Structure 1
Amino acid sequence: MEELAQQPLNIQNYIAALRRYKWYVAIAIIIFTTISVAVAVIIPPIYKSEGLVLVETQQIPDKLIQSTVEASAAEQIEIIRQRVMTREQLLDVGRQMPALKAIEDQYGSNTLLKQIRDNLYIEPIRERSGRANVTIAFKLGFISENPTLAQKVAENLINLFLKENIKARTERASQTTAFLEQEASKLKKRLDETEQAIAKFKQANQDALPEHLQLYSSSLAREESTALDLKRQIESIKGEIEYLTLQQTDSGQTSPEQIRLAELKDEYKRLSIIYQPAHPDLIAIKDEIDYLERGGTLSDSGSTSPEQASQKALQEKINARNEELKLVQEQLRTTNIRISSLESKIIKIPQVERELISLNRDYDTINSQYSKLVSDTMQAQMAESLEQGSKAERFTLIDAPRIPTEAFAPNRKKVLAAGLAGSFGVPLGIILLIGFLDKSIRGTETLEATLGFPPLIAIPYIHTDAERQRTKRHNIFMIGGLVVIAALAAMTIHLTYMPLDLLLTKVVQRF
C-alpha cells in the first residue's frame, strides 16, 4: 500500500479523468460560456459626461491691484467642491431631473444623495511650474446609465461650481474689506481719543509747553536784568536818604551857606547824571556853588530862606526819596515774582515735554497704523471690485459637457474574454485536480514505476457491445438534452425578453 501511495503521477490519470467527466466538462463549459455571454450583453452601459474648466489667472497685473483671495487653485477647487457637495445643493440638482427625482420618491433623499456623490467626480489637471505642480484646469463630470442624464447633471454641476466660485471669492473679498473697514474705524476712534488727550494735556499745561522754553528763557533774562537795575536804584536811593538825613542832622551846627552849598552839590551830582554839562540848570547851579565857595552869603545871592526853610526842604527831599524807594521796592518785588514764575515754568517744562513726547509717540504710532490700514482698505475695495467684475483669477468653462455617444463602461470584450477564460478554465482545472488526486494505477508505465519491473504483457480494456450501446445512448441523450435546453432558452428569450434577431443585432453593436 505504501508503494501504491508513492507511485508517480502519470498523464494518463489526467486523460482518464477527462474521459470520465467529458460530458460534465462540456456541459459546464456551455453553461459558463452562456452565462458569460449573457452577462457581457446584459450589463447596462455606463456613460460619462464631463466638462473642462480652465483656471485663468488675474487679468490685471498684480503690481497694480493685488487680490485679497490668496488661496491656490487647488485649494480653491477643494473649497468650492465642499460648498457644492452639501446636502441641499446636491438634492436641489437631483430634484431637477425626473429620473433622479423618481429615485428620491421611491428610496428617499439619502439614496439620491449617495448616488449623486458616488457618480460625481472632479479631476484636476496639473502642470509642472518650477518645483511645484500648479493646477491649471480641472474636469468635472457625472456618470450615469442614461447619457442625457449624465450630460444634464454634469452641466448643472459645472454651472453651480462656477457660480459658487464667484460667490466664494466675492464673499471672501467682501469680508476682507469689511474687516479692514472695521479695524480702521477702531483705529480712527483711538486716534481721535489720543488727539483729545493731547489737546487736554496741552490745555492743562499751556504755561509749560516745550515751545515756550525759548520765550521764557529770554523773558527770564530780561527780568533778571530789570531786577538788577532796580536793586541798584534802591541802593542809590538809600544812599541819598542817608545823606539827606545826615544833612538834616548837621543843619543845626552849620551855617545856612554851608547847608545851601551841600544841597547844591547834591543837586548838581544828581542832575549831572541826567543832563549834559552844558545844560543851563547845571550851569546855574555850578555858578551858585562857585559863589558860595568864594565866601558869598545867601543874602548876597538873593536867597533869603531862613534855617527853618532849609530844614523843611531837606525833610521834603527825604520824604520824596522814601516814596521813590517804596515804589522801586514794589517794582523789585513784582519783578522777583515774575522771575519765580518763569523759573517754575522752565523747571516744569522737561516733565511736560516727556509726557507730551509719549503722547505724541502714541499718536504717531496709531496714525501710522491708521494710514496703512486706510491704504489697505482702499486696496481691498479695489480687489473687491476686481472680484465682482470677474477680473481676478477665475474659472472659465472651455469645453461644455456633451451627450456621450459611446459607453464609458463596461468593456464588454474584456468581460466576455474573462468569462470565456473562466468557462474553460474552471472545468479543466477541476479535471486536473481530480487527476492529481487520483492515485489509481493506469497503464504499464505506472505499474512498472510502482512494482520496479515491467509486466510480461498488457491487456487493454475490452468494451462489450452492451457497453458501446449504453455509451451511444448516453451520448445521444446528452446531446438531445443540450439541444432541447438551448431551444427552450432561445424561445424563452424570444418570447419574454427580446426577439432573437434584435438581440443578435444589439449584441453585435455592443461588441
Structure 2
Amino acid sequence: MIIIFLIVSAVSAFIALKLPPVYESTARLLMESPQIPDALAAPTVDTAALEQLQVIEQRLMTRSNLLDIARKFNVFPAMATMTPDDIVSAMRDTTTIAKQAGREQATLLTITFDASDAQTAANVVNEYVTRILTDNTASRTSQAQDTLEFFQQEVERLSADLSTQSAKVLDFQNRNSDALPGTLNYRLTEQSNLQERLASVARQISGLKDQKQRLIEIYRATGQLDNSRAVVQSPESVQLAQLQVDLDQALAVYAPTNPKVTLLQTRIAKLQAKVGIDAARDPAPVPDTPPGTGIGVQTAPADGISSPTLDSSPMSMLDIQTTEIDSQITQLTEESNDTTKQLAALKDSIDRSSGVAVQLEALNRDYANIQAQYDSATDRLSKASTGERIAVLSKGQRIGVLDAATVPDVPARPHRQKIIAMGTALGLALGLGLVALLELLNTSVRRPIDLEHRLNITPIGTIPYSRTPGEMMRRRLAILFAFLVIAAGLPARAWVIDTYYMPIDLILAKVSTKLGL
C-alpha cells in the first residue's frame, strides 16, 4: 500500500513539474456609445454592436492575419517545422474571443491568448487589439467616405438631370407660347371680343352700303343731295360710335372692373383721341354742290353699287361722299379680314391648348420628380457629410480598450498543486484498493470461523501464532536497517544533488514557483 502510494504520488509530482507552463494574457474591449446623440447628428455607419463584434472577430481570425502575427512574434518554438495550416490551426486553438452583449447591457469583447512564454502571450493579445482598433477605425471612415462620395455623385447627376429637364420645359413653352394653358382664359376672352368686333364691322359695312345706296337713290330721284347727310363720318367716328354702343351693352351685363369692359374703355379712349386729332386737322365740312352742275354716275366701285359721276371737272359732292363711303368699306373689309385671321389663329391655339397642357404637365411632373429626388439627395448629402466628420473625428460609436493585455507573472496552466493533490489521492486510493483486494483474495485461516468453513469441524479453542525470539529479533533488525538506510540515504542524495547538479535552495525555489507557492 505504501509503495503504491509513494509511486503514484511521485509520478504525479514528476508530471506536474515537467508539464510546460502555459501563460495566458487577456484584453477587454468596450463598444462605446456615440459622443454625439443620434437625435442631433445621425452617424453614417449604423450597425448593431453585436454584429460589429462578429465582423471584427471574422476579420481578425483570417488566415493572413494569423500567419503574420505568428511569424512576427515567433509564437511557437517549432514553427520552422510547422506548415501554414498547422500554424493557423494552432493560433485559432490558442485564441479565445468572448462576446458579451444584451439589452440594456454594455457590449464587451474579451480576447485571450495562450503561449508558452508570458511576453509572447501579451504581445499577441496587444497585436490583436491594435489590429482591431485600426481596422474598425479604417472601416468606419471608409464607409462614411464612400457614402459621402456616393451622394456627391448623386447630387451632381440629379443637378444635371434637373438642368436638362428645365431646358426641355423652357423650350417646349417657347415653341408653344401661343397655346400655353396659362393664357387660355385670356385667349378665350380675346376670341369673344374679336367675334363681337367682327360682327360689329359687318354691321358697319352693311350700314355704309345702305347709306351709299340711299345717297344714290336720292340723287337719282331729286337730282340733289340731302344736306343732312353732307358730312360723311370717318371710319374712326363710326367705329367709336359702335364701341360706345358695345360699352353700354357690356356695362349692362358686366361689372366696371371686368376685363372686357376695361378693354372697350381703352379702345374708346384711343379712338376718341384719334377722332379729335382728325377733326382739328379738317374741321370744315364739304359744301353741297347745287343742282344743275352736270353730275353723272361714277363707274363700278368695290361694293358693286354704281355711283354717279360729275359732268364737270370739279368733283361733285356725291362723288366725294360715295368715295369716302367706299374708302370706309374697304378699310372695314381689311379690318374684317385681319380679325378673321386673328380668330383663326386663336381657334388653332385654343384647339391645341389641351394637348399642350397634357405635354406640359408631363414635363413639369418629370421636373417635380427630379426636383424631389434632388432635394432628398441634397439632404442626405448633408447628413453624410456630418456623419463623415463624426467618423473622422471618432465622435461616433467606437471600440475602446477597457483593460490592456499585460505580461502574466505566473502561468495559468497547468495547475500543479491540483495535479499533485489528485495524484496523491489517487495513490492513496490505489493503495487502499490493493489492500482490500489482497484481503479479498487471501484464503488463509485466521479465525475460528475459517476452520469451521474449511474443515467442517467445530474447534474447542484457538491458539494465536507466536513468534520465536529469533524471529522477533530478525524483524526488529530489518526495520532498523530500513530506517538507517532511509535516514542515511536521504542526506547522501541531497549532498550529491547539491554538489553535482544544482544547489538545493535553487531547486526549492523553482519547485515553489512551479507550484505557485
TM norm structure 1: 0.73
Cα distance in 2 for residues equivalent to 1:440 and 1:187: 108
Change (3 A) 1:359 1:26: same
Deviation, structure 1 residue 124 = 3.8
Change (3 A) 1:403 1:267: same
Mapping of 1:496-507 within 5 angstroms?
Answer: 502-507=506-511
Cα distance in 1 for residues equivalent to 2:143 and 2:233: 94
The SS at the match of 1:312 is coil
Mapping of 1:430-449 within 5 angstroms?
Answer: 432=436
* Matching residue of 2:367: 363
* Matching residue of 1:16: none
Deviation, structure 1 residue 395 = 2.3
Mapping of 1:425-504 within 5 angstroms?
Answer: 425-429=429-433, 432=436, 455-457=458-460, 502-504=506-508
* Matching residue of 1:412: 416
Deviation, structure 1 residue 236 = 0.6
Q: Is the 8 A contact 2:296 2:308 kept in 1?
A: yes
**Structure 1, residues 117-153: CA drift from partner, whole Å, max 9, x if none?**
2222333455x6xx44331x43333222211111222
Q: Is the 8 A contact 1:209 1:352 kept in 2?
A: yes
Q: Is the 8 A contact 2:26 2:111 kept in 1?
A: yes
Mapping of 1:12-31 within 5 angstroms?
Answer: 25-31=1-7
Higher helix proportion: 1
| Residue among 182, 185, 201 paired with 2:153 | 182
Cα distance in 2 for residues equivalent to 1:243 and 1:496: 166
1:305 aligns with 2:298: no
Cα distance in 2 for residues equivalent to 1:36 and 1:280: 149
Q: Is the 8 A contact 2:70 2:91 kept in 1?
A: yes
Cα distance in 1 for residues equivalent to 2:404 and 2:84: 28
The SS at the match of 2:42 is coil
Change (3 A) 1:190 1:281: closer
For residue 260 of structure 1, what is the amino acid of its counterpart? Q
* Matching residue of 1:294: none
Cα distance in 2 for residues equivalent to 1:52 and 1:107: 30
Mapping of 1:387-426 within 5 angstroms?
Answer: 387-426=391-430
Cα distance in 1 for residues equivalent to 2:283 and 2:29: 118
Q: What runs of 5+ residues in structure 1 fail to find an aligned partner?
A: 1-24, 289-297
For residue 134 of structure 1, what is the amino acid of its counterpart? A
**Structure 1, residues 330-350: CA drift from partner, whole Å, max 9, x if none?**
321220221122123223223
Cα distance in 1 for residues equivalent to 2:115 and 2:378: 53
Cα distance in 1 for residues equivalent to 2:17 and 2:501: 13
Cα distance in 2 for residues equivalent to 1:227 and 1:496: 142
Q: Is the 8 A contact 1:124 1:138 kept in 2?
A: yes
Deviation, structure 1 residue 359 = 2.2
For residue 148 of structure 1, what is the amino acid of its counterpart? Q
Cα distance in 1 for residues equivalent to 2:337 and 2:454: 151
Mapping of 1:109-128 within 5 angstroms?
Answer: 109-126=84-101
Cα distance in 2 for residues equivalent to 1:343 and 1:496: 129
Deviation, structure 1 residue 37 = 0.9
Q: Is the 8 A contact 2:31 2:397 kept in 1?
A: yes
* Matching residue of 2:214: 243
Mapping of 1:31-430 within 5 angstroms?
Answer: 31-97=7-73, 99-100=74-75, 103-126=78-101, 131-135=103-107, 137-244=108-215, 246-247=217-218, 251=220, 254=221, 258-261=222-225, 263-267=226-230, 303-306=291-294, 308=296, 311-313=308-310, 318=322, 321-429=325-433
**Structure 1, residues 25-69: CA drift from partner, whole Å, max 9, x if none?**
443322211111111222222222223333332223333322111
Cα distance in 1 for residues equivalent to 2:129 and 2:343: 87
Moved more, 216-225 or 35-44: 216-225
Cα distance in 1 for residues equivalent to 2:321 and 2:494: 162
Q: Is the 8 A contact 2:23 2:413 kept in 1?
A: yes
Cα distance in 1 for residues equivalent to 2:84 and 2:495: 41
**Structure 1, residues 229-261: CA drift from partner, whole Å, max 9, x if none?**
20111211221343345457xx2xx5xxx2305
The SS at the match of 2:309 is helix
Q: What runs of 5+ residues in structure 2 fail to find an aligned partner?
A: 242-274, 276-281, 298-306, 311-317
Q: Is the 8 A contact 2:23 2:115 kept in 1?
A: yes
Cα distance in 2 for residues equivalent to 1:446 and 1:184: 108
Cα distance in 1 for residues equivalent to 2:216 and 2:501: 157
The SS at the match of 1:96 is helix
Provide the aligned C-alpha RMSD in A.
4.4
For residue 16 of structure 2, what is the amino acid of its counterpart? A
Cα distance in 1 for residues equivalent to 2:347 and 2:70: 89
The SS at the match of 2:224 is helix
Deviation, structure 1 residue 498 = 5.9
TM norm structure 2: 0.73
Q: What is the count of residue pairs matched by the alignment? A: 453
The SS at the match of 2:31 is strand
For residue 356 of structure 1, what is the amino acid of its counterpart? L
Moved more, 453-462 or 215-224: 453-462
For residue 309 of structure 2, what is the amino acid of its counterpart? K
Instruction: Tell me the percent identity.
Output: 26
**Structure 1, residues 174-206: CA drift from partner, whole Å, max 9, x if none?**
222222223333333432332233223223322
Cα distance in 2 for residues equivalent to 1:134 and 1:386: 22
Q: Is the 8 A contact 2:451 2:459 kept in 1?
A: no
Cα distance in 2 for residues equivalent to 1:101 and 1:44: 13
Deviation, structure 1 residue 493 = 8.3
Cα distance in 2 for residues equivalent to 1:384 and 1:88: 30
For residue 151 of structure 1, what is the amino acid of its counterpart? A
Q: Is the 8 A contact 2:223 2:291 kept in 1?
A: no
Q: Is the 8 A contact 1:103 1:111 kept in 2?
A: no
**Structure 1, residues 191-223: CA drift from partner, whole Å, max 9, x if none?**
233223322322332221122224323422332
The SS at the match of 1:133 is coil
**Structure 1, residues 66-124: CA drift from partner, whole Å, max 9, x if none?**
21111233322222222222222222222222x43754323233333333322223334
Cα distance in 1 for residues equivalent to 2:501 and 2:88: 32
Q: Is the 8 A contact 2:113 2:125 kept in 1?
A: yes
